[in-house]
Amino acid sequence: MAAKKKNLDTKTSNRVGILNIKDLTVVDIDEKDGGEFTYDLKEMLKQFDGRKVSIAVSYEDEAPVVEEV
């Protein structure tokens, strides 16, 4: 078994908002002041080009409730 690497430099980037797959962007809408910020995913991901990566995507929806009759 290979020894575990002890000293690593890691890089993480995070974008939160609505995914637009057509444009490869994430749009974050500030609910307080109504501002809208668009982030370019392709540009963000360039820093990881050629590296071994792990990519996770998640979303949240309100859970359905049982309606009382």
* Per-domain residue ranges of the chain: 15-60
Q: Which residue has the higher pLDDT, 68 or 42?
A: 42
The pLDDT of residue 19: 96
Q: Cα–Cα distances in Å, from 58 out to 4, 18, 21, 32, 63?
A: 29, 11, 14, 23, 15
Mean pLDDT of the chain: 91
pTM score, two decimals?
A: 0.72
Q: Which residue has the higher pLDDT, 59 or 69?
A: 59
The pLDDT of residue 69: 67
Please answer whether residues 17 and 46 qualify as being in contact, where contact means their C-beta atoms are separated by less than 8 angstroms.
no
**In this predicted model, what pLDDT tens digit does every residue of 15-33 receive, in sequence order?**
999 999 999 999 999 988 8
